[in-house]
Structure 1
């Protein structure tokens, strides 16, 4: 299909249905109606459940890397002589590849069923964790807990995320909120569990145990995925449409995603080690990561419900801005009580953009462009991960012994989130203009 023909097909789809226009605001709905509609959509429910399980494992492990970070750098750890930047590269590499490999997602789903892609990813991801249990050098951890884990987790994570929004319309945001709540619940459960396993059986068997648990749950998740029955799901196998890159709307959306991804993980990676500078124990540091993720999970669903009522893009902007406020207003303050407040409130606001962005892609760019835009967006989020935690690690002074040693990473974190918010406000302005003038342009 030519670029012009593909673009015209996309426009035809959007002109045919005004329901696909950017939703700056929507009509409130009651919880009973939401539940009834979800029950009628059994295939969609199964995909949401699959996505929940995948998020639980992929990001439950990924966002718990702060526990490994703190242990690897301790005197008992295998990477004691490595810098914060070097150790952070292990976790960042894994999480970044989860996103950046999304650039191949459209091609993979064109040639293979979502279930088969996920099964292959499950084996790779679990293998990476199990092999990491035999490692003792930095490059070995990067190859196993980073590279192999990251490629596998991408294949596990993205198929249900791409498929799920196509099963929903009116309640799309709350469905995706439930799907992505697995991220926070995974962190809530696996951060303290990881800390416990390291203390009881050592980090090597901890990694192997997580690998076998992951294999069980992600294989189950792959069996639940259903492919959406829409014509636009398998239009072509091109990575993306070059025409899409000639629009400010696309660049603002990608910029907002990249910058938010760069800032999002910084608190999670350094939360445990920073907590110890304030006098908290290792166990308490791991618990903070779990609490943050647990709160995050709850409010992904809450803000998903709210996004269906006031507009998904509106909700993303509000939460992104408030995330930056918590960084500057609470984490920047060298106080135990302020830090505890930050752990909770950052968990409240920071996760909304992750769960609501897929719903916005459908509304802003249409179903014909959804997969290619998802691929580009997740690739940019992966690049953002590379620019986030590792660079923040380089900014830590004096080996991070005192809380003031973290001032530069905290400022960097807040600036990234503010810049992301500015991009999303620009995107909102363009989307609002197009809605008012009944246009649909890339």
Structure 2
């Protein structure tokens, strides 16, 4: 666990962090923050509660978001409500929801100036749940876009950021393991909610399916909202009314990290979206294609924790860089080769390495910039990830030639996917060796 003043072990990081604090910041902090006396045992309990809340919210948010393919298949079917719309237009609904989950995070720093984490999350739970419930009454395309797209995305962002931002501050030695548990909710949620949504559509219809998911989300994430408290380490630095501190944008470290996050987010979801359809070009059935997505999510969830454990001992920035490179390698080395055996290997290995990238991002931000800057920079980073999501799958779809019925027609999309993750890896390598720790470039753990 962290002590009240143990922000970072690296003096270079500490210097950058402290430079961003002005006397005015400290004065503002004293006048706006009530310093609560919290024992070490209570801090430990709050840390565990924050991890539990983060896991739960990731399970619901991304479990539903990553199940959107189930809804897309039904919406565009002969009996679906959006059968007259193109597949790309229907896909935009789910893509927009996921993109806003990240992008609206840029407002998190400002919101915490006025509201507690619990209040922010309760507002988010209500908006997200209403978005799903109101989708059950939708008939026109714009109504789906407003409810299952925009309302879902805004509400889920308010739910997603508080536990993700607060959890790293409660841990030091086991920070990556904690965040691995938080983000494993994404994989387990994707595995469970896709099957659950498919079952509900078949037995109660799509309208009651989204309504049930909405009420379920309101109950589950509403309860989780009461488990998140702002760490006392955040009380020692000022909250800002602004979205972020402008002087942070003058750092090359910040820009390299933002670019790496943008590129990684753009490439991350492409295989998940096209995995089932691509599998059918190799002779796999529709049910097997759905199973592949489930296997990928399960492997992804498990290895977020395993690699998190390794990262705490071998270096977090080192591990995220290696995993990013290996993710790009699986795309060029396995997915680009159109055989059934290499495709199955790709499904498993891509799940192993890409999950770690997401889980380690918050821990690397703390390591690079210190807890003093983490809260505001996390909003900027997730904003970059949101924009990246909009630039990933939609553009990848344009590279698919023909009707996508042959594996060779996906070649351009696969190369685009690999290039995004390779470029993200290059940014991380430059950040690790040339900018953040130039004097320790040949040391494995910094």
Please tell me the TM-score bracket, short chain as reference.
0.7 to 0.9
Match of 1:239 in 2: 243
Partner residue of 2:396 out of 387, 392, 396: 392
Q: Mark the CA change 1:412 to 1:79 in structure 2 (over 3 Å): closer, same or farther.
A: farther
Is 1:92 the equivalent of 2:83? no
Cα deviation 1:156-188 (Å, max 9, x = unaligned):
000000111111111111111111111111111
Alpha carbons 1:85, 1:391 under 8 Å: kept = no
Match of 2:428 in 1: 424
Q: Is the 8 A contact 1:20 1:362 kept in 2?
A: no
Matches of 1:428 and 1:85, distance apart in 2: 38
Q: If the length of structure 1 is used for normalisation, what is the TM-score?
A: 0.87
Give the 3-state SS of the residue equivalent to 1:398 in structure 2.
coil
Distance in 1 between residues matched to 2:8 and 2:429, nearest whole Å: 25
**Whole-Å separation in 2 of the counterparts to 1:223 and 1:51:** 12
**Alignment correspondent of 1:226:** 229
Distance 2:307 2:268 in 1: 17
Deviations 1:307-352 (A, max 9, x none): 0011001111111111111112222233333222222111111111
Range with bigger deviation, 356-365 or 278-287? 278-287
Pair 1:377-2:381 in alignment: yes
For this pair of structures, how many residues does the alignment match? Answer: 410
Structure 1 residue 411 corresponds to structure 2 residue 402:
no
Given the alignment of the two structures, is residue 145 of structure 1 paired with residue 131 of structure 2, yes or no? no
1:205: how far off?
2.2
Shift of 1:382: 0.3
Equivalent residues in 2 for 1:286-365, closer than 5 Å: 286-365=290-369
2:286 maps to which of 276, 282, 286: 282
Conserved 8 A contact 2:8-2:370: no
**TM-score, L = length of structure 2:** 0.86
- Separation in 2, partners of 1:136, 1:18: 56
Per-residue deviation at 1:216?
1.5
Q: Do the aligned partners of 2:106 and 2:380 also contact (CA within 8 Å) in 1?
A: yes
1:433 is aligned to 438
Alignment partner of 1:55 out of 52, 58, 74: 58
2-side partners of 1:51 and 1:408: how far apart? 36
Tell me by how many angstroms 1:118 deviates.
Answer: 0.5
1:201 aligns with 2:204: yes
SS of the counterpart of 1:85?
helix
User: 1:102 maps to which residue?
Assistant: 105
1:401 and 2:416 aligned: no
Are the aligned partners of 1:44 and 1:168 in contact in 2 as well (CA < 8 Å)?
yes
Equivalence for 1:18: 9
Partner of 2:218: 215
Tell me what 1:132 maps to. 135
Structure 2 vs 1, CA of residues 432 and 69 (structure 1 numbering), >3 Å: closer, same or farther? same
Task: Structure 1 unaligned segments of length 5 or more: list them.
Answer: 1-12, 24-36, 437-442
In 1, Cα distance between equivalents of 2:76 and 2:283: 18
Match of 1:259 among 250, 263, 286: 263
Deviations 1:212-232 (A, max 9, x none): 221121011101112211224
- Could you tell me which runs of 5 or more consecutive residues in structure 2 were left unpaired when the two chains were aligned: 15-39, 442-446
* Pairing partner for 1:192 from 192, 195, 198: 195
Cα shift readout 1:22-80 (whole Å, capped 9, x = no counterpart): 69xxxxxxxxxxxxx99982110000000000000111111222222333333343333
SS at 2:232 equivalent: coil
Change (3 A) 1:376 1:213: same
Residue 20 of structure 1 and its aligned partner are, at CA, apart by 7.0
Distance 1:228 1:39, change over 3 A: closer
Q: How far apart are 1:252 and its partner, in Å?
A: 0.5
